[in-house]
Amino acid sequence: MVESRIKKHPILSIDETSKYVTFTFNGQELKAKSGEMISSALFAHGIHIFGHHNKDDSPQGMFCANGQCAQCLVIADGIPVKSCITPVAEGMKVKSLDGLPELLKDDEVVKSGGNVPIVDTQVLIIGGGPAGMSAAIELGKMGVQCIICDDKQVLGGKLSLQTHNFFGSMRDCFAGTRGMDIGDNLSVLVENEKIIDVWTNSPVAGVFADGLIGVVKDGRYNLIKPERTLVTTGAREKTLAFPGCDLPGVYGAGAFQTLVNRDLIKPTDKLFIVGGGNVGLIGAYHALQAGIDVIGIVEALPQCGGYKVHLDKIKRLGIPIYTSHTVLRAEGNDHLERITISKVDNKFRPIEETEAVFEADTLLIAVGLTPVDELRKQAEKFGLKTYAAGDADIIAEASAAIISGRMAAREILLDMGFEVEVPPEWEEMIDILRSRPGPVKGLHPIPKDKEIYPVIRCTQEIPCNPCTEVCVLQSIKIKEPTIMGRPQFEGNCLGCTRCISICPGLAITLVDKRYDDTKKTARVVIPWEMPEGTIRIGEEVTTTGMEGEVIGKAKVIGKKKSKWQNRRVLVSIEIPFKDANNVAGIRTKEPLVKKNVTAVKTAVNDDVIICRCERVTKKEIVDYIKKTGTKDINAVKAALRVGMGPCGGKTCTELVMRIFRELGIDLKDIEPPIDRPFTQEVPLKTFLRGDDTQ
């Protein structure tokens, strides 16, 4: 069996010294990296189906890769576990979960569960992502004792999955730095504050009326009694319901980034993406960096909602974007094999005879995020002094979460009696960072009297200023009053390429018309982050303009790593003067030729699975609501078991709300589901403690 591991990556380091352990899956001996999650190890060996559901024998596989759902359940050494959060151990025997797991045999009698320790702290921070770490640093500087709890093995949250450079302000939120490096930088700052106690591998499971908060720390149950609680739990991905949406191979963009960027696994050969926001566009870019063929991106709106610079760099590489389109269905025998899309009208209804079929083995759902706020609601309900920051408060970019965390920390300090303030510039900056992209206004004039100059293709108002900060001659300026303005080149250029190296949107090229005046050819320098071997010195390439339009042919004459942006390559091409200002990128993928593929039998819309855990269909839910007239999700839950499975309604609740809306029921009239502790599964063994703690 050939391993599907990424051996080379343009940004990520490959650890050739990784230790491996041996385990078995259904009796077959396999290798896994030490500490690797079971699901990732299986994916590395091309195994994408982990079992079959007890209700209808449907295949089950990866979906969230974050411990939120239960589609990846397997039997590990006789115990059912979520494979995406359970590391492989030497000699572990893993089996498919086909149907319901068997009850475990009686173990030795437990005389006492022992005393659960109660830990006091001034501030408990739930979530170790950008907001949580930034808040902890701010509190630690003032001598406030904090505990950060996070369910992952390391701090960083989703930053650890981001290989791209971030937007925003260089001074305020590390703009121009790659997300994974921002996570590392913040982690170091947290470690430097000795008063901060970091609990990794420690999911917070519930908030209780007595002010105690339950935490499963390294497999043991603890209670924390905080004076104040800051919730920075981030967000979870929204999903869609359509025929075939429950097939293995259909999963979230976050799960994909976990497999590719954290675990260095190539989980797919042919990838299609639903959603043209920043998450979908960035997911496509990360796939290309991993050497994965991206078939296309579909977006229901007339325009993609992500930053235009993200969209443009995808289009320049040759990836087709289908706006005003939707996915009609996903099909395959036990695993995704093809998808069908169609155009939609202005009410998002599919238009007949506009269908197109694509072969794909993976479909990423990137249709937005929703706050993870169950713990916050519990804490507020029970009267705890509770604060929120980052996506748990308002969905925005990670740069906004950094500022949000600092502001929440200052608010906590003020409430504790410290003489501090929330700087007005922070409030202004977070409003900017949370704002939607502004209108597209076109290019600023390109110099006509210069021999060497940058061409800046930042045509949309987005919060970003790294190019203005690094220009040696200060020739790049934003003339508007905030960093939402478009940068403009005026003055002289040394050709140092710093602006090209740091631009998060890869939106700047350098034109040097001094290259060969006799042939009337210029040298154009292009930022490049694709795999080694995608283009080679001496070969002819197809050049593209700002939005992916073909410009012509060019010869690659040089490649070098940026001296101070150590994982970006600067590619030099030789091109006629007339094209020099227009060339923005290089095409790596030719347009896809659509194939007529015979579709397999699939479900009709009403048979779409809404609740994955309990396999409840849309038809069942619609029929129950119409029959009873209920406006209470809890009634639907009690009658049909929607949301009663291991995910606790984390995936299906929003889909049920959409069904109410489709039936003409105002969402304000809907009684929401009741969240009770525990907000996630807590195995009984976590409450058992050794004699030393009793």
Q: What is the mean pLDDT of residues 671-688?
A: 85
Residue 681 lies in a domain: no
Band of the pLDDT at 485, cuts 50, 70, 90? very high
Q: What is the CATH number of the domain that holds 616?
A: 1.10.10
Which H helix or E strand runs over 559? strand 550-561
Domain assignment of residue 591, yes or no: no
Quote the crossing angle between the two packed helices 618-628 and 633-640, to the nearest 10°. 120
CA-nearest of 120, 124, 130 to 198 is 124
Give the C-alpha separation, 162 to 181, whole Å: 9
Residue 475: its H or E element: none
pLDDT on residue 85: 92
Type of residue at 580? A
- The predicted pLDDT at position 19 comes to 92
Q: CB count, 10 Å around CB of 188?
A: 11
Nearest in space to 287 (alpha carbons), one of 309, 255, 312: 255
Average pLDDT over residues 257-266: 96
Residue 359 and residue 268 share a domain: yes
Q: Is 598 inside any structural domain? A: no
Residue 155 CA, chain-centre distance (Å), reads 15
Residues 85 and 129 in one domain: no
Residues 46, 28 contacting (CB under 8 angstroms): no
**Kind of pairing between the strands at 20-25 and 93-98:** parallel
Determine, yes or no, domain membership for 677. no
Residues 64 and 130 in one domain: no
Q: State both tokens at 595.
A: 């194939």
Cα–Cα dist 550/429, whole Å: 38
Which tens digits make up the pLDDT trace of 440-467? 998 999 998 899 999 999 999 999 999 9
Dihedral sign (CA 403, 409, 411, 417): negative
Q: Per-residue pLDDT tens for 553-573?
A: 999 999 999 877 668 999 999
Question: Residues 143, 222: one domain?
Answer: yes
In this structure, what token pair is assigned to residue 641?
Answer: 């078991």
In a domain, 136, yes or no: yes
Give me Rg for the CA atoms of the chain: 26
Are both 635 and 649 inside the same structural domain?
Answer: yes
In a domain, 211, yes or no: yes
Co-location of 221 and 328 in the same domain: no
Structure tokens at 174: 């590390």
Confidence of residue 106 (pLDDT cuts 50, 70, 90): low
Backbone region of residue 324 per phi and psi (left: phi > 0; alpha: psi in -120 to 50; beta: other values):
left
Do residues 376 and 229 both lie within one domain? yes
Please give the residue range of the domain that contains residue 405. 118-235+371-433
Q: Are 102 and 46 in contact (CB under 8 A)?
A: no
Give which of 192, 178, 190 is closest to 13, Cα–Cα: 178
Query: CATH code at 68?
Result: 3.10.20.440
Instruction: Tell me the mean pLDDT in the region 572-589.
Output: 95
Cα 239 to Cα 272: distance, rounded to the nearest angstrom: 15
pLDDT, residue 675, reads: 81
**What's the number of domains the chain is made of?**
5
Q: Is the same domain home to 88 and 124?
A: no
User: Which pLDDT tens digit goes with each residue over 298-333?
Assistant: 999 999 999 999 999 999 999 999 999 999 999 999
Q: What is the mean pLDDT of the chain?
A: 92
Per-residue pLDDT of 9-61, as tens digits, reads: 999 999 888 899 999 999 999 999 999 999 999 999 999 999 999 999 999 99
Burial 166-182 (b: 16+ CB within 10 A, else e): bbbbbebbbbbbbbbbb
Q: Considering only CA atoms, which of 338, 344, 330, 323 is closest in space to residue 277?
A: 323
Under a CB-based contact definition with an 8 Å cutoff, are residues 55 and 124 in contact? no
Is 674 among the domain residues? no
**What pLDDT score was predicted for residue 477?**
96
Residue appearing with tokens 């492989």: 88
